[in-house]
């Protein structure tokens, strides 16, 4: 009944706001700066389509900021230092510094904060304990495990995702006589799935404990005192990066419905970003690679226009760059309607061929990360990876195909918790390899693993 009430409330609200659909888009002075905070192990690049949707509804590009935490993974125990990972205190301090930069750059008095998953932990920590109550007008949390990924007394309570640990119990302590869990006068919105968020599950399947109760419900991301919206069947990442999540966030900030639901193409498209790497887990160096957002100085990027039907390069390189210490590349002027291959070469990594759909708009957060070939894959003739950064694959919900297969390797028959699939191909013969997801189709080429080359088909939507 709670789920139905929340959903009906959202639909009714959007219907009432529909009469404002012809209202003018916010001006530079009216549109508050929005700071987007990515999740655990992720990067600023995941906000790509969300930024495009805000821009398509008139939000000035210079008022949209997607920050990037250098070490995005949480510590196993928040109180103990761990190489390549960040504590809640470090995460909050980074966010605080970034907000202060945005306020100085824009002259605004307050910002809106929009966080996905772990990003919401930093937002709550900053507002409650770091002075953000004065600098934040609205806080939007997509899929944040506000009551933990697990809430088991005595089990990993030092971890920031423990619902019975000191970090979350401190954030969730009642703030007033009503028992509100949010800090005022900031306005709060939570966005969650009805039952398809891998980190809001009563069973411990997605934390490696199938059959063990987590003591967390599907409503775990909700907060007392916030506006809590439920969107059916979305997965953990889609709580922030889906069109429905954008529409709810836009309406919450502006008080009116979106002017357009689709991404509006631009006539001139300029792309840029950062090439970042992977750390090596000192406890498991053979297979324990993990994400960081540190630049790879000296990495070489070559961009080719491709035939969308075959993945073949259609001419000479359209752009080449050896990046400096900051890892940054661009600007590259892309052609509307053209699919591209991004070839990355960097010491210690396989030459990675990333195939992307045509870009409809400009972006400075087209961040790229080369792959390593794991020891278990050294016997492959060729490797191809199909990845969806802004969501997961759901065999019951999505229409998918990878090199002719409808059952993606590693994707379970039920539930949304896997965002990439990998094929170990028996032949390295040059040919097209295709992948499809709910209407978005990617085509790349097969490259020999013996030459330390990997194919990546990366979805945009």
DSSP-assigned states of every residue in 214-260? -S--TTTT--TTSEEEEETT--TTHHHHSHHHHHHHHHHHHSS--S-
Is residue 15 predicted with pLDDT exceeding 50? no
- Class at the top of the CATH hierarchy for domain 269-458: mainly beta
Per-residue pLDDT at 460 exceeds 70: yes
Please report which confidence band the pLDDT of residue 21 belongs to, taking 50, 70 and 90 as the band edges: very low
pLDDT tens column, 224-252: 999 999 999 999 999 999 999 999 999 99
Query: How far apart are the C-alpha atoms of 47 and 390, rounded to whole Å?
Result: 8
Question: SS3 of 270, please?
Answer: strand
The domain locations on the chain are: 2-254, 269-458
> What angle in degrees, to the nearest 10, is found between the helix axes of 243-254 and 48-56?
50
- CA angle (160, 163, 166) in 5-degree steps: 60
- pLDDT at residue 4 in the model: 33
Kindly state the percentage of the chain with pLDDT values over 90: 90
What average pLDDT score do residues 407-411 get? Answer: 97
Residue 278's pLDDT band (boundaries 50, 70, 90)?
confident
**pLDDT 10s digits, 291-325:** 899 999 999 999 999 999 999 999 999 999 999 99
- pLDDT tens digits, 86-134: 999 999 999 999 999 999 999 999 999 999 999 999 999 999 999 999 9
Confidence of residue 425 (pLDDT cuts 50, 70, 90): very high
- On whether the 2-254 domain is CATH 3.40.50.1820, my answer is yes
């Amino acid at each position: 009944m709670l789920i139905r009430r929340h959903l009906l409330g959202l639909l009714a609200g959007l219907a009432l706001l529909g009469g404002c659909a012809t209202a003018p888009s916010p001006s530079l002075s009216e549109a508050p700066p929005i700071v987007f905070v990515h999740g655990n192990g992720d990067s600023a690049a995941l906000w790509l389509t969300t930024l495009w949707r805000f821009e398509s509804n008139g939000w000035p590009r210079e008022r949209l900021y997607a920050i990037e935490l250098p070490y995005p993974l949480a510590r196993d125990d928040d109180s103990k230092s761990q190489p390549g990972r960040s504590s809640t205190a470090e995460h909050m301090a980074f966010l605080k510094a970034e907000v202060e930069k945005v306020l100085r750059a824009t002259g605004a008095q307050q910002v809106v904060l929009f966080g996905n998953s772990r990003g919401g932990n930093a937002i709550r920590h900053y507002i409650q304990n770091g002075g953000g109550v004065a600098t934040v007008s609205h806080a939007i949390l997509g899929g944040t495990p506000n009551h933990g990924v697990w809430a088991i007394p005595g089990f990993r309570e030092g971890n920031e995702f423990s619902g019975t640990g000191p970090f979350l119990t401190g954030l969730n302590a009642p703030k007033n006589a009503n028992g509100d869990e949010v800090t005022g006068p900031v306005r709060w919105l939570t966005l969650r799935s009805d039952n398809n968020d891998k980190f809001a599950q009563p069973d411990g399947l997605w934390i490696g404990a199938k059959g063990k109760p987590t003591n967390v419900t599907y409503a775990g991301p909700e907060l007392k005192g916030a506006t809590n919206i439920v969107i059916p069947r979305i997965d953990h990442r889609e709580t922030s990066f889906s069109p429905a999540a954008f529409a709810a966030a836009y309406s919450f900030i502006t008080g009116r419905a979106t002017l357009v639901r689709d991404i509006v193409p631009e006539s001139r498209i300029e792309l840029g970003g950062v090439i970042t790497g992977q750390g090596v887990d000192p406890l498991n160096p053979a297979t324990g690679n993990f994400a960081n957002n540190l630049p790879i100085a000296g990495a070489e990027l070559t961009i080719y226009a491709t035939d969308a039907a075959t993945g073949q390069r259609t001419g000479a390189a359209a752009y080449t760059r050896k990046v400096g210490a900051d890892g940054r590349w661009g600007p590259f002027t892309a052609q509307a309607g053209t699919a591209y291959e991004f070839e990355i070469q960097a010491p210690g990594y396989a030459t990675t061929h990333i195939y992307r759909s045509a870009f409809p708009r400009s972006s400075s957060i087209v961040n790229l990360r080369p792959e390593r070939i794991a020891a278990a894959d050294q016997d492959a003739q060729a490797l191809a990876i199909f990845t969806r950064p802004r969501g997961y694959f759901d065999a019951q919900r999505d229409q998918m195909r990878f090199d002719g297969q409808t059952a993606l390797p590693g994707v379970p028959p039920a539930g949304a918790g896997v965002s990439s699939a990998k094929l170990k191909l028996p032949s390295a013969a040059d040919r097209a390899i295709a992948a499809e997801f709910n209407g978005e189709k990617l085509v790349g080429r097969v490259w020999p693993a013996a030459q330390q080359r990997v194919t990546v088909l990366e979805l945009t939507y």
